[in-house]
Amino acid sequence: MSKAFTRESDTEEDDEAVGAPPLPAGGKNYITPAGYARLRAELLHLIDDERPKVVEVVHWAASNGDRSENGDYLYGKKRLREIDRRIRFLTKRLAIAEVTDPSVHHGRDRCSSAPR
87 in Cβ contact with 43 (< 8 Å)? yes
Considering the entire predicted model, what is its pTM? Answer: 0.69
| pLDDT for 38 | 97
**Section 61-78 average pLDDT:** 89
Domain 46-63+70-102 sits in CATH at 1.10.287.180
Alpha-carbon dihedral 26, 38, 41, 87, rounded to 10 degrees = -40
Contact call for residues 58 and 80 (beta carbons, < 8 A): yes
Q: Given a cut of 70, is residue 50 above it in pLDDT?
A: yes
116 or 47: which leads in pLDDT: 47
Q: List, in sequence order, the alpha helices (H) in 30-107.
A: 33-45, 51-62, 71-95, 102-105
Summarize the confidence of residues 54-82 as an average pLDDT.
91
Output the pLDDT for position 106.
63
